[in-house]
Structure formats: C-alpha cells, structure tokens
Amino acid sequence: MTQWLHWIDLMGVAVFAVSGTLMAFRKHMDGFGVIVLASVTAIGGGTLRDMILDLPVFWVHSTDFLYTILAAAVITIIWLRVTHKFPYQTLLIADAMGLAFFNVMGLQKALNYGADPLIAIVMGTMTGAFGGLIRDVICRDIPLVLKGELYATTCIFGSLVYLAIFWGWDNSSLAMLGAVIGTLSLRVTAIYRHWQLPLFQGLH
Amino acid sequence: MTQWLHWIDLMGVAVFAVSGTLMAFRKHMDGFGVIVLASVTAIGGGTLRDMILDLPVFWVHSTDFLYTILAAAVITIIWLRVTHKFPYQTLLIADAMGLAFFNVMGLQKALNYGADPLIAIVMGTMTGAFGGLIRDVICRDIPLVLKGELYATTCIFGSLVYLAIFWGWDNSSLAMLGAVIGTLSLRVTAIYRHWQLPLFQGLH
Amino acid sequence: MTQWLHWIDLMGVAVFAVSGTLMAFRKHMDGFGVIVLASVTAIGGGTLRDMILDLPVFWVHSTDFLYTILAAAVITIIWLRVTHKFPYQTLLIADAMGLAFFNVMGLQKALNYGADPLIAIVMGTMTGAFGGLIRDVICRDIPLVLKGELYATTCIFGSLVYLAIFWGWDNSSLAMLGAVIGTLSLRVTAIYRHWQLPLFQGLH
C-alpha cells in the first residue's frame, strides 16, 4: 500500500515536472529557471498539503522525487530540441494526469491522517491544483484552475468516486484506481468539449 | 473566550470569502475558480500564520470554516445574479472588515502562543493582509496592501489599541473589540479620504 | 558557530530588505507596502525552508530580524530621498549578496538537520532564491531567478564549493566562507558578462 502511494506520487511528480518544463519553454524561459518551474509545479501542491497537515514534507526524506523531476525535465528538453514544436495538447494532458494522480494522493494521505472527508477532499484538490496554480502565477498567466473548463471540480468528482468505492467495497487500492480514472476522464472530456460551470454567465 | 475567537475567525472568513468572490466576478472568472479564490482570500493569511507559529492549521480540524466559505460565496453569487452590478465600494468595505477581524485574531493567537508583542503585531498584520495579497497576486492586480491607502498600517494601529487596552485594563475581550473598531475605522477613513503614507513622494 | 549563523542570517536579511525596498521604489509603491515588500524578500525564503524542514521559523523567536529589516528599509528610503536616483546595479549586487548569504545559511541548516546533501543543496537554493522570487511575483515582474543570467545555478556552485571544503578539511566555517565567496563571485560575473545557460536556444 505504502509502495503504491510512493509510485503514484512519483508519477504525479513526473507529469507535473513535464508540464512545468513545457510552460517554461512556452514562456521563453531558459537555464535553471526551467528546473525551478518544473519543481514548483511538481512538488508545490504536495508540499503545501504536508505543511498544512503538519506531516513530514514528502520530498525531504527521499531523493527519489528530485531525481524524477530532473529526469523528466531533461527528457522534455531533449524532446523539444529534437522536435522543435510546442505540444499545447500534451501540456494539457500532462496537467490532467498530474491532477488525477495528485488528487487521489492528497485525499488518501488526508484520510490516513484521520481528516474529515470534506477536509480530505479539499486536501486532494489542493494537492492536485496548487502546483499548477503557482506555476501559472509565476509565469503571469491567469491560472488554468481559475479558467472556465472544469478543473478543481474534476478533483471533487474523483474524490467522490473514491469515497463511494471505499465505503461500498472497503478496498482503498480499487478506490484509488477509480478516482484516478474518474478525475482524468472528466478533465480530458472537459478540455475537449470546453465544458464550463457558468456562475456569472451573462453578467459581464 | 475560545468561543469568541472562533466567532471572530468565522466572521473574518465570511467577509474575505465575499471579497474573493467579488474579485473573481470582477476578473471574469467562472466556475470553481470562484470557490478557489474565495477560499484563498479567506484562509490564506491564517493558514500562513498557523504554519509559521507551528500551530495546527485552524480550518483542518473544524469544517465550520469551509461551510462558511461555501455559504458566503453562494450568497454573493446569487446577489450578483440578481442585482447585475459590481459593488466596488462593498469589496473595499468587506476587505476592511476582514482585515480588522483577522488582524485581532492573529494578534490574539500569537500572544496566547507567548510571542513577543512585536512578533504578535506582525502575525496580526500577516493574518489580515496575506489572504488579500495572495488574492490580488493570483488575479494579477498590484495588491491593495501595497497601494497608497493605509492598509497594513491600520493593522499596526489596531494592534497598538489592543495592547494599550490589554495592558491598561487586563481585559482581552475589551481589547479585541477596541482593536477591531480601531482597525476598521482607520481603514475606512483612509479609503474615503485617500490617506497615504508618502515615503517616496516626488521622487519618481 | 551558532553565533556565526545568526550573523550571516542577519546580513542576508539586511541586503534582501534593501533589495525589496529598491524594488518597491522602482514599482512606484509607497507607504507600508515598502515594509511588506522588504520583509517578504528578506524572510520569505528562510520561512519556507524552516516550514518545510519543520524547524521553528527563524524570525519568530528573535526580534533581531524584524528590527534589521526596519533599519535597512529606513536607511534605503533616506538614501533614495537624498540621492534621487534608482541604483539598478546596486539592486542586482544587493540581490547577489543576499543570495550568497542565504544559500550557505540554508545549506548549513539542512545539513545540521541531517538532510541528504542533494536535499541540502535544494534547501540552500530555495532559501536564497525564493524571497526574491516572491518579491518579483508580487511586483509582477518575470522573476530574476527565471531569467537567463545564472541565478539558482550559482547557488548550486556555491553549495558544491561548501561540500568540497567540508569533506576535504572538515571545517564548516571555512566551508561557509568559501561558499559565500564562490556564489557571490559567480553571480556577479554572470551579471556583468550576461552568462546564460541556453537550454532552448534557437527554438522559439
């Protein structure tokens, strides 16, 4: 189980590091700024979660995460130098995968900690969404998370899938799988169909 | 006393959630971004305070705060859909009230913790000003806190009122009331009279 | 030794407070915003480091740091009012000195804590670079740390100098001195010679 969580964490870190590197490329950044942006994107959300829950910050006691970021950034840079084009779709998909992995990770960690399900849902959403939020704020984009397409909402949906499976079958591995698939498929569908949650529609 | 603190915290959270929702409306945000912005504004400052003092983060062990944010955001959205206009004055007043409540809350919590009065003043100012600062940074506005009108300065004034009453009468409830009134009235006056603290005047 | 660390911390705080005040002037900020920006720049990186390592935040238990920030900001303001010009070079040099002091401070604190050298290097870089990163994000500049000139890279170089001296001679005072000189000289040289780390060169 702990092994599982570690792998899900590493996968989330890898895809968010790719997404941070792609954003750095898009914003004409260079040099070490790429690594900084990849790292902030990859470990920002989980760092905030662990600090808020007062748990040991996940990447401080294992160097796996930093090596994963370095590897993901280097591979992305080589890929960009070879293909010479910016894969905007890939950025969105990498971001969606990171969101799904980190959401379930944050939810699971908060539930293990003994948090109320509502708090655990918030922790999952925060783990998934904050790395990207910080990435976008640093790059001076209006954060993806605040744009029309369902973003944080997909985390809540994924978390509800988790809780439904967990309460029904008492199997947290299955619940995690269901949550990842649920979050990812809703997010990808929202991207392609431009689904929105119109709250202020027609007001501006 | 603890009960009092809880209510002041909830009121601060509610008005800052309103202020975050209004800002989201002003910035043409939509969907869940509204909730994210309301939450960041409402609990950002206090979260930072608790993490820095290494106390349990206030909203993790009680779901009251999250339900308050949801309620405040929903009421604000309904109000905006009904009235169809953006109340800029209301945003400033809501912001001023949140500032006053959170300032006294942060000050009180730091003093209970045993912090030096100077550190406690900083904690009060931070609790009051950081949620709004993060809100403005995410929305790519130059933060209110950094603009000419007395902002953080009013927190210091309110904190001095608190310390004066507390040292004179040894009554922390009265001191809290005095600090809220002091901070709020100075801030509102500063907004209407455009008071400034000119440090660099005539230099640019 | 502890005394040494305290002085290096205070020097880093002072020069970053100067750099924050200069930036506030450049951005036409005024009033208390100057103090806020000076403080965020000066203690942002170290605060994050201490929260992540779950150590007591360095400025909470000693008022020295806050008085240092106040003094540095006041002196800088007086200097600007007297000379009436913006010293862009001085901002860069102050920033470079803060980077060097804070880098070695963060590295040392993480090593004392028992962190892996890789984690300690990251902590040093973060301590050095994050205050300025937050300063630039608040002011809506693309952060210096993400620009072409070697920035975070110089922290890594300085940290390697530290580790080489420490492993070779087992003298941490000498290692700290070497790291400060190494970081500072590489950073200043990079500024004057416009050295870059081209990763995406010719791709845009």
Q: Which chains touch C (3 or more CB pairs under 8 A)?
A: A, B
From CA B150, how far away is CA B146, in angstroms rounded? 9
pLDDT in tens, B105-116: 888 888 888 888
CB contact under 8 A, C32 and B152: yes
User: Closest partner residue to B51 among A51, A133, A203, by Cβ?
Assistant: A51
Q: How would residue B165 be classed by pLDDT, with cut points 50, 70 and 90? A: confident
Segment 150-169 of chain C within 8 Å of chain B by CB:
none
Query: Could you tell me how many CB contacts below 8 A there are between chain A and chain B?
Result: 84
Name the residue range of residue A166's domain: 2-193
Q: Is B140 on the interface with A (CB under 8 A)?
A: yes
Among partner residues A32, A37, A51, which is closest to C151 by beta-carbon distance? A32
Using CB atoms, which residue from A31, A51, A138 is nearest to C52? Answer: A51
Inter-axis angle of helices B64-83 and B2-26, nearest 10: 40
Supply the pLDDT for residue C1.
57
Residue B151 to residue C47, Cβ atoms within 8 A: no
Measured between beta carbons, the chain B residues lying within 8 angstroms of A148 are: 30-31
Taking the Cβ of residue A84 and every Cβ of chain C, the question of whether any pair is shorter than 8 Å is answered with yes
- Nearest-CA neighbor of C58 among C73, C46, C40, C41? C46
DSSP-H helix ranges across chain A: 2-26, 33-53, 64-83, 88-113, 117-138, 152-169, 172-193
What does the pLDDT average to over B82-94? Answer: 74
Cβ-Cβ contacts under 8 Å for B48 (sequence gap 6 or more): B126, B127, B130
CA dist C36 and A72 (Å) reads 36
Q: How many domains does chain C have?
A: 1
- In this structure, is residue A103 part of a structural domain? yes
Rounded Cα distance between C60 and C56, Å, is: 8
- Average pLDDT estimate for A121-139: 83
Q: Supply the pLDDT for residue C196.
A: 60
Does a structural domain hold residue C120?
Answer: yes
CB pairs < 8 Å spanning B and C: 83
Q: What is the pLDDT of residue B203?
A: 47
CA distance C50 to chain A (A): 11
pLDDT at site B125: 86
Chain C residue whose CA is closest to B133: C138
Contacts of A142 in chain B (CB under 8 A): 27, 29, 139-140
DSSP label of A196: B
Q: How far is A200 from chain B (nearest CA, A)?
A: 6
β-bridge mates for residue C196, sequence order: C149
Question: At residue C16, what are phi and psi to the nearest 5 degrees?
Answer: -70, -30
C119·A60 Cβ contact <8 A? yes
- Cα separation of the two ends of chain A: 49
In the beta sheet, which residues pair with residue B196? B149
- Evaluate whether residue C199 is within a structural domain: no
A125 touches chain C (CB under 8 A): no
Of A33, A54, A84, the CB nearest to C203: A84
Q: Which residue has the tokens 């900690």?
A: A113
Closest-CA distance, C57 to chain B, in angstroms, reads: 6
User: What confidence tens digit (pLDDT) does each residue in C3-41 have?
Assistant: 777 777 788 888 888 888 888 877 777 667 788 888 888
Q: Which of B84-88, B92-96, B169-173, C100-104 has the lowest mean pLDDT?
A: B84-88
Lowest mean pLDDT among A31-35, A144-148, B100-104: A144-148
C64 min Cα distance to partner chain B (Å):
11
Closest-CA residue of B relative to C57 is B52
Give the distance from residue A139's alpha carbon to the nearest chain C alpha carbon, in angstroms: 7
Which one of C53, C118, C146 has the shortest CB-CB distance to A29? C146
- CA dist., res. A116 & res. A179, Å (int): 18
Q: What is the pLDDT of residues A2-51, one digit of tens each?
A: 677 777 778 888 888 888 888 887 777 766 778 888 888 888 888 988 88
Pairwise pLDDT comparison (C203 vs B56), residue with the higher score: B56
Residue B127 above 60 pLDDT? yes
What does the DSSP assignment read for B110-129? HHHHT--HHHHHHHHHHHHH
Residue A195 pLDDT: 64
Residue C194, judged by CB atoms within 10 A of its CB (0-12, 13-18, 19+), counts as exposed
Average pLDDT, chain C: 80
Work out the average pLDDT over B145-173.
77
> B3 or C30: which carries more pLDDT confidence?
B3
Q: Report the residue of chain A nearest B39, measured CA to CA.
A: A122
pLDDT of A69 higher than 70: yes
Residue B38 pLDDT more than 60? yes
Q: Chain B: residue nearest A204 by CA?
A: B28
Q: Which pair of structure tokens corresponds to residue B12?
A: 């601060």
> Is C153 a domain residue?
yes
Has residue C162 got a pLDDT over 60? yes
**CA B126, CA B108: separation in Å to the nearest integer?**
13
Question: Residue B203 and residue C32: Cα distance in Å, rounded?
Answer: 17
Q: What is the pLDDT of residue C141?
A: 66
Question: What is chain A's mean pLDDT, rounded?
Answer: 80
Q: Chain A closest CA to C10's CA: distance in Å?
A: 26
Are residues A32 and C116, on separate chains, in Cβ contact within 8 Å? no
CB pairs under 8 A between A and C: 83
Q: Hey, are the CB atoms on B30 and A129 less than 8 Å from each other?
A: no
**Residue C203, pLDDT score:** 47
Spatial separation of the C-alpha atoms in residues C38 and C53, rounded to whole Å = 24
The per-residue pLDDT for A197 is 56
What per-residue confidence (pLDDT) applies to C134? 82
Does the pLDDT value for residue B135 go beyond 60? Answer: yes
| 3-state secondary structure at position A150 | coil
pLDDT class for C148, splitting at 50, 70, 90?
low
Share of chain A above pLDDT 70, in %: 85
Confidence of residue C189 (pLDDT cuts 50, 70, 90): confident
* Structure-block tokens of residue B134: 């993060």
Query: Which chain B residues contact residue C56 at CB under 8 A?
Result: 54
Question: Amino acid identity, residue A64?
Answer: D
Phi-psi region of B127 (alpha: psi -120 to 50; beta: other; left: phi over 0): alpha
Of C53, C150, C196, the CB nearest to A60: C53
CA–CA distance from B192 to each of B26, B150, B151, B188 (Å)? 21, 11, 13, 6
Count of all residues that appear for chain A in the document: 204
Which helix (H) or strand (E) segment holds residue C32: the answer is: none
User: Which of B183, B178, B24 has the alpha carbon at shortest distance from B102?
Assistant: B183
Q: Helix count (H) and strand count (E) of chain C?
A: 7, 0
pLDDT for A199 equals 52
* Max CA pair span of chain C: 50
User: Is residue B203 in some structural domain?
Assistant: no
Handedness of CA B189, B191, B193, B199 (dihedral sign): positive
Three-state DSSP class for residue B170: coil
Neighbours of chain A (3+ CB pairs under 8 A): B, C
Query: Does any domain span residue C200?
Result: no
What is the reported pLDDT for B198?
53
Is A34 near chain C, with CB under 8 Å?
yes
CB contact under 8 A, A31 and C129: no
- The interface residues of chain C toward chain A in range 38-57, judged by CB-CB distance below 8 A, are 51-54
Domain assignment of residue C187, yes or no: yes
Report how far residue C67's alpha carbon sits from residue C84's, in angstroms, rounded to the nearest whole number. Answer: 25
Residue A112: inside a domain, yes or no?
yes
B129 touches C at CB < 8 Å: yes
Residues of C with Cβ-Cβ distance to B196 under 8 angstroms: 30-31
CA distance C73 to B21: 35
Asked if the model's pLDDT at residue A160 lies above 70, the reply is yes
Locus of tokens 């590091």:
A17
**pLDDT given for residue C34 in this prediction:** 81
pLDDT at residue B117 greater than cutoff 80:
yes
Q: Residue B184: is its pLDDT beyond 70?
A: yes
**A-chain residues within 8 Å CB-CB of C122?**
39, 66
Contacts of A137 in chain C (CB under 8 A): 137
**DSSP H helices in chain B:** 2-26, 33-53, 64-83, 88-113, 117-138, 152-169, 172-193
Q: Under an 8 A CB cutoff, do C51 and A51 touch?
A: yes
